[in-house]
Structure 1
Amino acid sequence: MTSTPNSLFRHYLDSLIQRGTTRASLTEEARDVLRTWYVTAKKGSRVHSPSSPSSPSSPSPRPEPQPTKTPPPSTNPELFPEERKPSSSITLPEGTMEDKLQYLRDLAQNWKPARDLNSLRDTMVFATGNPHTQLMLIGEAPGYYEEVQREPFVGRAGEKLNQILKAMGLSRDMVYISNIVKFRPSLPNQRTNNRAPTPEEIEACLPIIMHEIQVIQPKMIIALGGTAAVGLLGEQGSVSSMRGRFHDLNGIPVRVTYHPSYLLRSDNPREKRKVWEDMLAVMERMGMPVSEKQRGYFLPRE
C-alpha cells in the first residue's frame, strides 16, 4: 500500500473538509514543496521528495520566522503499517480496568514518540465515558473546545454526537469515547482553528489507542471520520468508500461513518440517513432493540 505525496496531500485535505475546515494556512516551506510538485508534474516526471533540491524554476524561499511547532514532513513510504496490534513496547500493569487506563493516561501525558514530533500542543485530552461498555467510539484528535474542557467531542460536534447517541437509546456515560491522537495538532498563530493530525502524528500515538482498545475490549468500534478510520484500519480511502460495511480490527468489528462535524455542514437528509444507517447496522450487530420509528429516521417523505 504505497502512498504518493499526492495521495497523502489529498487524504489530508479530505480530512480537513470532513471536519468543516474551509481555510488552511501554509508555511513558506510547504508552499515551496507544492511548487516543486507542480513544476515536476507539468514536466511529466516523477515527484521528488520534499528533501530534494528545488527546481531552478521554483521561487526561492523568503526568510520568515518559523513557529516552534509545525507538522513534520511525510517520510514514511507507507501511509500506516499493516499491523494493528498493541505494541510490545507497552506493558500494562496488573490490576483493574481503571488501573490500566490510568496507567495509559499517565503514559500518554509524556509519550515520547508524540512529543518528539514537536507538532502537537501540550494539553492532553484522553477519553470519557464508561470503560465497562460494549461500544467504543474513536475520533481523530481534540480540537479547541476539547482542549479547553479536556474531554473528547464537546462543542457543536459533541452536541451532534450526543444527539446521535440519544437516537440510538444511549448516552455518553453508556459508551467509551476517545481519540487516536491525545493532543490538539498545532498551527502557527493558533487560536480556535484546528487541523487534522498528520499520518506521522497518528502513527506516533497509535500504541496508546491500541492498548486502550485492548483494555476496554469492546464488542464494537465506531470510527468517526476518515482520519480515524485510516489510522485504525491502515486502509487508505475516503469515508464514503469505507462506510456501509464492517471492517475487522484484531477480531473487533469496526463501522466507519462520517464525523459529526460533517453533519453540521449538511442539511441534506440523505447525508444524515447515511450516518443513521451505519448506526442501525451497529445496533443490529450488537443485538440492540430497533423500533420501526428508529428505522424510519431521515427517510424521504412520501
Structure 2
Amino acid sequence: MPHVVVIDPVDAIDALLAELHRQKAAGVRRVSVSDESLQALKVMAGGASPSPVRATTSAQTVVPAVPPPPARPAPRPIVVAPPVPKVSVHTPELRPLPAPRALTLPTGTKAERLAWVHGQIAQCPVTLEHLKPTQKPVLGVGSAEAKILFVGEAPTLEEVEAGRAFIGPAGELLRKIVAATGLSEKDIYVTSLMAWRPEPPTAYGKRPPNAAEVAFSLPYVRAQIEAIQPQVIVALGAQAFEALIQAKRTITQERGHWHAFEGRPLMPTFHPNYLLHNSSLTAKRTVWEDFLLVMEKVGLVPTEKQRSFFLAPPRPVATDDVEPDA
C-alpha cells in the first residue's frame, strides 16, 4: 500500500538545485520540465504550505491510525417543569334581590289577566337587570283556558334568548307526551320557575336557583296560575316541585302521588330532560303513569291502548315450559 510523504518546499528546492548542478557537471545542457512540474515549482517558490505528495515507493508502509471512537453524546438534562400555580377564579357575587312583589290581578277575562301578568314580568326592573342585551324575559306559552298548567325549571340559555318557555328538545318531547294523552295545545299552558337564567352557571351547567331567587319569582308563577285557574298543576322536575310546596322533597318518592298548591291538585313528575338522558322503557313508563293520573283528574278516560303504552312485552312461553295434558 503506497504511503504518503510530506515534503518541505525549501528542502525540495535545495534538492532540485543540487541535481541540476550535478547534471551540468556531467555535461547536460538542457533539461525538459513539464507544465505540472513548473506549476509545482511556482507553488513552492511562493511559500505555499507543504502539500502531500503520493510516493510510489513501498519501502515503508505506514498503517493509518485507527480513528478514535465517536464521542458519546452528553446525557440530556432532565427538565422538571415547575408546579403550575393555582389560579383563583373570580366568581362574581350574586346581586341581592328585593323583597317579593305582591301582585293583585285586575278584573277581566282570563286572557286579559294573563296578558297583564306577562306585562309585569316583561317590565320587571329586577328581571331586566339579570338579562344580557341579547336576552329577553322568559314568558309562559299556551292557552289562557288551559286545563293543565306545567311549571318547569329555571330557563335555559336557549329560552332566555327566545323569551319563551319550553322551547328546544325538552319542549318538543313534552308536547309529544301531551299529544299521546289526546289533549291539544289549547288544553295546556307551560311556564318556567323564573324569568331569567341564574348566573353565573356552574362548571357542569346552569346553576339551580337559590332560595332568594325562588322567593322573588314565585309571585309571578302564582299570578299566572290565578289568571288561568287550571284544573291541574304539573311540576316538571325537583326545582319546580320544591318551589311550589316550599319544602325539600325527593321527586323519585313523591311522583305518582297527588299534592296541592293553594287548593289546586299538584302532580310532580320528572322533567322531560330526564327522558332525553334516560330513554329506557322503565323511565318512559314511569312518566307515562303520572300522565295517566293527570288525564283522569281532568276527566279523560284512558283507553286500553293508552294504558298499555311503554309496558314491557310479555315473555314468550317456550314449548318446553308447557306441560302436556294428563
Give the TM-score normalised by the residue count of structure 1: 0.67
Question: What is the number of equivalent residue pairs in this alignment?
Answer: 225
Offset at residue 198 of structure 1 (A): 2.0
1:260 pairs with 260, 272, 279, which one? Answer: 272
Offset at residue 101 of structure 1 (A): 1.7
1:129 pairs with 142, 145, 158, which one? Answer: 142
Separation of aligned partners in 1, 2:173 and 2:211: 26
**Secondary structure in 1 aligned to 2:136?**
strand
Is 2:117 the partner of 1:104? Answer: yes
Instruction: Quickly say closer, same or farther: Cα 1:290–1:189, change in 2 above 3 A.
Output: closer
**Structure with bigger RCO (C-alpha 8 Å, 6+ apart):** 1
Separation of aligned partners in 2, 1:204 and 1:114: 10
Q: Describe the superposition over 1:186-219 as per-residue Cα deviations: whole angstroms up to 9, x where unpaired.
A: 22699x9533322221111101111111111111
User: In terms of Rg, which structure is larger?
Assistant: 2
Instruction: Quickly say closer, same or farther: Cα 1:176–1:201, change in 2 above 3 A.
Output: same
Q: Which deviates more from structure 2 when the two are superposed, residues 242-251 or residues 193-202?
A: 193-202
**Secondary structure in 2 aligned to 1:123?**
coil
**Secondary structure in 2 aligned to 1:284?**
helix
Offset at residue 113 of structure 1 (A): 5.9
Decide whether the 8 Å contact of 2:131 with 2:137 is kept in 1. no
Kindly report the root-mean-square deviation, in angstroms, between the aligned alpha carbons of the 2 structures: 2.8
Decide whether the 8 Å contact of 2:198 with 2:207 is kept in 1. yes
Extract unaligned runs of 5+ from structure 1: 1-60, 75-86
- Identity, in percent, stands at 33
Is 2:236 the partner of 1:199? Answer: no
Offset at residue 65 of structure 1 (A): 4.2
Is 2:206 the partner of 1:208? Answer: no
Instruction: Give the aligned residue type for 2:294.
Output: V
Extract unaligned runs of 5+ from structure 2: 1-85, 315-326
2:174 pairs with 150, 161, 170, which one? Answer: 161
Offset at residue 140 of structure 1 (A): 1.8
Decide whether the 8 Å contact of 2:101 with 2:216 is kept in 1. no
Is 2:196 the partner of 1:183? Answer: yes
Equivalence map 1:40-189=2 (5 Å): 64-67=89-92, 70-71=93-94, 89-111=102-124, 123-187=136-200
**Secondary structure in 2 aligned to 1:195?**
coil
Decide whether the 8 Å contact of 2:127 with 2:195 is kept in 1. no
1:270 pairs with 264, 282, 300, which one? Answer: 282
Separation of aligned partners in 1, 2:177 and 2:201: 34
Instruction: Give the aligned residue type for 2:108.
Output: G
Which contiguous aligned blocks of 4+ residues in structure 1 show a shift greater than 6 angstroms? none
Instruction: Quickly say closer, same or farther: Cα 1:91–1:262, change in 2 above 3 A.
Output: same
Decide whether the 8 Å contact of 1:72 with 1:119 is kept in 2. no
Q: Describe the superposition over 1:222-257 as per-residue Cα deviations: whole angstroms up to 9, x where unpaired.
A: 100000000011121121122111001111100000
Q: Which deviates more from structure 2 when the two are superposed, residues 207-216 or residues 197-206?
A: 197-206
Instruction: Quickly say closer, same or farther: Cα 1:287–1:188, change in 2 above 3 A.
Output: closer
Aligned residue number for residue 32 of structure 2? none
Separation of aligned partners in 1, 2:130 and 2:303: 46
